[in-house]
Structure 1
């Protein structure tokens, strides 16, 4: 924790305001309740930011307390990164021992891209903390055979959706499969529990979007980067299928629907800083642009996963130990994310 705090906090005042698009959004959100709730990019409430509001609500509250300045905008991400290091240490330490927990925490604390992400106004570090909390609640639900912990896990994933939308759902396949096969409850109960948790997940996920959708367009900002002024379009379009499918397909779909997709200020700014991420395919994460960020750790992670898997004979047969459940969560989450970011 101290290593992470030192790396995150050193000379933080020299970082400025971070991403100017997000910093301008937070500044506008301080103007009043409507711009705050709808995460308006401009003080007049003309167009909203191209992300859901939760991460920027946190930044705005920090700026309200500390004053609008770079450190106030960056502090929530710094604290989220340090919190993620501590939580990851705890999550890995319990089933795999103190040495494994320390290595996992150090890997997160020292990975350059994790340090860099925590020292900017992008909101990925908050999403990581929330999803690690969801993983913790899931493992507690399995360990204690308690539906309440599973519902808490679903609630946290729903909050993650209100940070970066569908990116939060990358944990969902591992979340559902792990509970279904590792829970000590009878199979009908497991299915019922997952159904209830899924309902909580969806209600929390789409709560803000539903309020925005029900608000008359003339009383709120235009939903930035959407083609139809709809937060659902933003979730499943710009922040959904457009992140997965080639641009030619999604652009054609917008045209067929008779809509237009006006660029948001974030899209315009992002175009100047765009970095080529390589051709789609199984080795995409290992190309020259991405390998130095995190892919260098993937071979070790995969080998460690295979070794740990083989050390647990009958890993898919009950009863499930804490190690088995943890392997399913971490392994399933890794494979889902790797597959998504490779296509």
Structure 2
């Protein structure tokens, strides 16, 4: 009877875990937020035409794409077509993707380590703070994680003897590539090593299997890249690239440039003269990055436990038979390789990228606790609980105003669980030991579910975090006030137009032509106009304002054909990071072809001390309307 009840309870466990994950991910997403407005604007533009949809155009006129392949935006576009353009319609696909990843992780780990371990892994993934906050937004990472977990599932089936699943594994990684490019390939070494370690037969046959999967990987990864670069008709310029090709984007700005910091392309400038790079959003590169003030609270709660478990498995050689060994290689390799790449990446790197580590942390931690319970109940297991509790205490102590009470609760419950373990008097000691491991991450995840937006740089934890230093871009002038990095975000992500912007846009629509308004600023400013209206608004320069689109030649053609009349830009030259050559060319073009519109024409307010026709224009901070 006890066994029957136990099995019946377990049959309900996974649906309850998925339901809990859905609540965490979906709570309050209908409160008007738009997540990352850069992608939200693109989704609206993508629903306006086939090539816009196919290539992920940022603006409705098809001038420039987003700086990634559009795989992650396609589900959002379909959702908008079905439900209309609302914030919750944009965010719903990511909620579903996050829940699907939790479900699929359970099915994968169950094949490797059994039902109980799989349920625990699903719980850990669902309660990982960075996963909760990222699944509440519209960045590409939720779909990337789902594809990577799907690849792990397929690899696990392949190790069981179903060799054709290895092709599916490669296909899913390729889909991940078209979601976030080379980041998806980080786990490929772990997948290959796990297959070779977990399968039998002649080495030549296994290597041929891997070679065949490699061909599938290349095809599923590059078909869209080839389609864009060889497209015979009109298409948007590839945002973030140095030469307008998808190939350059993959291996430049969004590829090796992310590792070295030397291939930023046109998408975002990295300041070097000020000893500041975009990698500073996650702290300086190095072995301690996963544990620092900016990243630690997102993913590192169970990292010490995971590393201890992997060390125990290697030292004691307790990896089991070939299939079990393949699982340890898969999940341990996934964790170690990803952590190493993220830790030492010298280019643009954000803390929320660590959600890609969460499935591996969950699988290794869950399987490791089961292993320690079976073989090291009074030695390594108490040490693991103590280590995890001590680290949770450190993380919670970094800002005691944000649920700081949990650090004492963690210490108390850990002490009690360790005492019970050492006494050996309770079969529920392991369950008690889970409380200090999951308490603070669960509280942080609950707090993340109460936030109204994941924003452009989503992060769980305190509402504000340490200032990493000057942020690259026109708003960060040396020696002046610097923007702070907001953790958790809030509001609508800047999706609403101000009254002044609405007046400017209304005037431009009434007096303009085919292109109602061109905004000479970074994409964040342009996105508000696209989201907040149905006007044909374009941006100049893509995400960071540095792409060579529209080119000066294109602006000349539009002007000659009567397609462009109004440009919204800045008024005066500003101190700050140097402009790129294409930005300078556009600045000069505006100076030569455009004059300031008197704010009284649209009922606006003039800048203090400004006169129509004053000075050269400034890139960024677009606040002045020009007639060209």
Match of 2:282 among 277, 286, 295: 277
Aligned mates of 1:327, 1:274 — CA distance in 2: 31
Match of 2:312 among 299, 303, 307: 307
Moved more, 333-342 or 14-23: 14-23
The answer to whether the aligner puts 1:27 opposite 2:27 as a matched pair is no
| 3-state SS, counterpart of residue 263 of structure 2 | helix
| 3-state SS, counterpart of residue 164 of structure 2 | helix
Indicate conservation of the 8 Å contact 2:241/2:249, yes or no.
yes
Indicate conservation of the 8 Å contact 1:224/1:264, yes or no.
no
Task: Give the aligned partner of residue 27 of structure 2.
Answer: 10
Task: Give the aligned partner of residue 201 of structure 2.
Answer: 185
Aligned mates of 2:266, 2:235 — CA distance in 1: 17
- Within a 5 Å distance, the mapping from 1:105-184 to structure 2 comes to 105-144=122-161, 146-184=162-200
- Within a 5 Å distance, the mapping from 1:55-134 to structure 2 comes to 55-134=72-151
Aligned mates of 2:197, 2:25 — CA distance in 1: 38
Match of 1:48 among 42, 65, 69: 65
The answer to whether the aligner puts 1:292 opposite 2:297 as a matched pair is yes
Indicate conservation of the 8 Å contact 2:310/2:332, yes or no.
yes
Indicate conservation of the 8 Å contact 1:182/1:325, yes or no.
yes
The answer to whether the aligner puts 1:214 opposite 2:219 as a matched pair is no
How far residue 121 of structure 1 moved from its aligned partner, in angstroms, is 0.7
How far residue 311 of structure 1 moved from its aligned partner, in angstroms, is 6.0
Indicate conservation of the 8 Å contact 2:319/2:325, yes or no.
no
Task: Give the aligned partner of residue 342 of structure 2.
Answer: 341
How far residue 314 of structure 1 moved from its aligned partner, in angstroms, is 7.0
- The Cα RMSD (Å) is 2.1
Q: Deviations over 1:46-66 (max 9, x none)?
A: 000001111111110111111
Task: Give the aligned partner of residue 320 of structure 1.
Answer: 322
Q: 1:264 to 1:214 in 2, by over 3 A?
A: farther
Q: 1:92 to 1:15 in 2, by over 3 A?
A: farther
Indicate conservation of the 8 Å contact 1:226/1:234, yes or no.
yes
**Structure 1 runs (4+) greater than 4 angstroms displaced:** 308-315
Q: 1:187 to 1:15 in 2, by over 3 A?
A: farther
| 3-state SS, counterpart of residue 276 of structure 1 | helix
Moved more, 299-308 or 62-71: 299-308
Aligned mates of 1:138, 1:78 — CA distance in 2: 25
Corresponding residue pairs, total? 320
- Within a 5 Å distance, the mapping from 1:217-256 to structure 2 comes to 219-246=234-261, 249-250=262-263
Task: Give the aligned partner of residue 220 of structure 2.
Answer: 204
How far residue 263 of structure 1 moved from its aligned partner, in angstroms, is 3.4
Q: Deviations over 1:258-286 (max 9, x none)?
A: xxx43379xxxxx9x99632221111111
| 3-state SS, counterpart of residue 239 of structure 1 | coil
Aligned mates of 1:264, 1:25 — CA distance in 2: 18
Indicate conservation of the 8 Å contact 2:253/2:267, yes or no.
no
TM-score normalised by structure 1 residue count? 0.88
Aligned mates of 1:100, 1:128 — CA distance in 2: 20
Moved more, 295-304 or 53-62: 295-304
| 3-state SS, counterpart of residue 250 of structure 1 | coil
How far residue 250 of structure 1 moved from its aligned partner, in angstroms, is 3.3
Aligned mates of 1:37, 1:236 — CA distance in 2: 21
Task: Give the aligned partner of residue 268 of structure 1.
Answer: none
Task: Give the aligned partner of residue 330 of structure 1.
Answer: 331
Aligned mates of 1:76, 1:10 — CA distance in 2: 14
Indicate conservation of the 8 Å contact 2:241/2:253, yes or no.
yes
Unaligned runs of 5+ in 2: 1-17, 270-275, 345-628
Aligned mates of 1:192, 1:27 — CA distance in 2: 44
Aligned mates of 1:188, 1:171 — CA distance in 2: 23
Aligned mates of 1:298, 1:250 — CA distance in 2: 31
Aligned mates of 1:171, 1:48 — CA distance in 2: 27
| 3-state SS, counterpart of residue 196 of structure 2 | helix
Indicate conservation of the 8 Å contact 1:91/1:136, yes or no.
yes
Aligned mates of 2:145, 2:266 — CA distance in 1: 30
How far residue 185 of structure 1 moved from its aligned partner, in angstroms, is 3.0
Aligned mates of 2:117, 2:212 — CA distance in 1: 34
How far residue 310 of structure 1 moved from its aligned partner, in angstroms, is 5.3
